[in-house]
Amino acid sequence: MHKTTIDNFQSGLVWFRRDLRLQDQHALFLALKHCEKVYCVFVFDTDILDLLPRSDRRVEFIHASLVNLDEHLKKTTQSTDVRLITLHGSAKEEIPQIAELLGVQAVFTNHDDEPTSLSRDSLIRGKLAAQGVSFFDFKDHVIFERSEVLTQTGNPYGVFTPYKNAWLKKVTALDLQSFDIKPYTANFATLKPAHLKKLKSSIHTLEEMGFEPTNLNQLGVHTGIDGGDFLFKDFLKRMDQYQETRDFPSIKGPSYLGVHLRFGTVSIRALARVALERANAGSAGAAVWLSELIWRDFYAQILHHHPRVATRSFKPEYDSIQWEDDKAAKKLFKAWCDGETGFPIVDAAMRQINSTGYMHNRLRMVAASFLVKDLGIDWRWGEAYFAKHLIDFDLASNNGGWQWASSSGCDAQPYFRIFNPTSQSERFDPKGAFIYRYLPELQNLGLPALHTPWLAKPMELLSANLKLGKDYPLPIVDHAKAREKTLMRYSVVKTAKKK
C-alpha cells in the first residue's frame, strides 16, 4: 500500500467522522505525532442531516457519543480547556472555514469510501489546497481496504471464501497494532480567546439542530467510547459460544457492536486482534465472529471497486428481473414495513427494527428474503427501508446483505434458494420467545400454532381470544405459490446471461 509522507506542522486539525474515539484512532495518532498543536472537530453535516427525519436514533447516538468523546478528551489531557469543537453546517464549507480560523497547516481525517463521501472529500481537499492547507486521510474503519487484498491476477475478489482465505494469509500483527496516543497527549491544543468568541462553547444540542430525542435511552442503548468498551467486555465472556448462539434472536448471542463499528466508538483492530488470537487458540466462536468482521472488509472493497452496486445489481443480468411495482405491490410493501404480513417471524423482525432501530442478523436475512422472494418486490425498496431505520446502517454492508438475499450480489445465495419463513421461525425461535416479545397480540397462542396462526384450529384461536384478520392479519401471500412465481421471475436471469 502507498505510504503517505507527512511533514511536521505547527498545528493541525483532526476531523472526526466515523471514528468517534481517542485511542487507536489512526488520523488522530498521526496528527498528534506530526503537529505541535492539534485541534479536534466534528461537523454535524447538514448535507446529511437535512435528509433525515427529525427523530433519528443515529443522530442521537452520534450526539451522545460526541459528549462522551469530549469527556474523554478532557480526562486524557487533564484539562477543561481542551475540547471537541462541533460545527453545524455543510462540511464542504465548514472544514475549510475552521481550518482558516484556527490557522492550521494540515487537516487529518480517516477514509470514508462511500461514493458521496469521496466526492465531498475531493472538493474539500481542493479548497484546502487553495488555502495552502494539506489534507491527509488514512485507513481506520477496516483492516484491509480498497486494493489491499487482490487475487493473484491483481483483480478484486467477488467471492467471499477466497477473499477470507487471502485476508487470513495476509494479516499480520502489524495490521492489528494499536495506535497509542499516550506519548503525544500534550500536543492537544487549547482554544484561544479569539477562537472562543467565534465558536460555540458547547456541543450542539439535538434541539438546536432541529432534532428531537428518540427512545434511545429507554432502550438502554450503550453509546460512545464507554458504551463500546462495555459491550466488548461483555461479549468477550460469550465469544467462544458465538457460533452456537448467533442465529437465535431470543438469545443474547451477538456482540451488539454493529453501531459502534459503524461510528468508530470501538477500534476494528482491537476487535479483530482478540478474535484472531482466540480463533488461533481453537475457539470456534471467535473464528466465526472473525469471519463476520472479514465480511465487513469484503463488502467495503466491493463498494470501492464497484460503486455501481449502490444503485444496481452486482450481477448485471439480475437487473433484467421484472419486480412487482403496482398499487398492490405498494400495499404489500407497507404490510411488510409495518410488520403486518401474517407471518409472525417476519412481523416480529419488522416490529423490532421499527421500535428499536436494530434487527437481529438472522432476521435481516429472513425479512429480506420474504420481501424479495415471497412478495416479488425490488430489493432496493427494502435496502432503503433498512437504511432509514437501522441505527447501525452502513452502505457497504447493508447493500451487500440485500444483494445477497436477492441473489443479485457477489457470492450471493442461489436464486432458487428461498427461505421458508415458517421453517426459519420453527428452527431459530422454537419456543416463540422472540415472537411473543414483539407480537403481544399472539401471547395466548401456543406452539406450534404460533409459527403458523392461519393453520391453528378454531378452538386454539378461541382459547387465545384471537380473531385472524382482525387481531392479527391472515398471510398476505401463499409461500408455496410465491416460491413458484419467484422461480419463474428469476428465470430471465438465465436468458440474460446468454446474451
Residue 238 has a pLDDT of 97
Catalytic residue set: 292, 295, 323, 361, 379, 402
> What confidence tens digit (pLDDT) does each residue in 94-142 have?
999 999 999 999 999 999 999 999 999 999 999 999 999 999 999 999 9
Residue 2 has a pLDDT of 47
Report helix, strand or coil for 376.
Answer: coil
CA 247 to chain centre: 18
> First-to-last CA distance in the chain?
38
Query: Which of 374, 392, 386, 388 is CA-nearest to residue 475?
Result: 374
More confident residue, 494 or 346: 346
472 pairs with which residues across the strands?
Answer: 468
Task: Report the alpha-carbon angle 34-144-142, nearest 5.
Answer: 75
Residue 443 has a pLDDT of 97
> What confidence tens digit (pLDDT) does each residue in 365-396 have?
999 999 999 999 999 999 999 999 999 999 99
Residue 196 has a pLDDT of 87
> What confidence tens digit (pLDDT) does each residue in 194-222 have?
888 899 989 999 999 999 999 999 999 99
> What confidence tens digit (pLDDT) does each residue in 415-446 have?
888 999 999 999 999 999 999 999 999 999 99
Q: What percent of the chain has pLDDT over 70?
A: 98
What does the H/E/C string look like for 393-436?
CCHHHHHHHHHHHCCCCCCCCCCCCCCCHHHHHHHHCCCCHHHH
For the segment 448-462, the average pLDDT, to the nearest whole number, is 97
Ordered alpha helix ranges (H), 90-142: 91-102, 115-130
Residue 330 exposure: Cα atoms within 13 Å on the Cβ side: 3
Residue 416 has a pLDDT of 84
Q: Does 495 have pLDDT greater than 90?
A: no
Cell digits for 362?
A: 438472522
Residue 5 has a pLDDT of 84
Mean pLDDT of the chain: 96
Q: How far apart are CA 374 and CA 459, in angstroms?
A: 29
- Edge-to-edge strand list for the sheet holding 9-16: 84-89, 35-45, 9-16, 106-110, 134-138
pTM value?
A: 0.95
Sorting pLDDT into bands at 50, 70 and 90, what band is 1? very low
Residue 497 has a pLDDT of 64
> What confidence tens digit (pLDDT) does each residue in 9-29 have?
999 999 999 999 999 999 999
> What confidence tens digit (pLDDT) does each residue in 282-296 have?
999 999 999 999 999
Whether a cis peptide bond, with omega within 30° of 0, leads into 458 is: no
Do residues 222 and 231 lie in contact, with contact meaning Cβ atoms separated by under 8 Å? yes
> What confidence tens digit (pLDDT) does each residue in 27-64 have?
999 999 999 999 999 999 999 999 999 999 999 999 99
Maximum pairwise Cα distance, the chain = 80
Sorting pLDDT into bands at 50, 70 and 90, what band is 496? low
Q: Does 499 have pLDDT greater than 70?
A: no
- List the domains of the chain with CATH numbers: 1-141 (3.40.50.620), 142-178+223-305 (1.25.40.80), 316-498 (1.10.579.10)
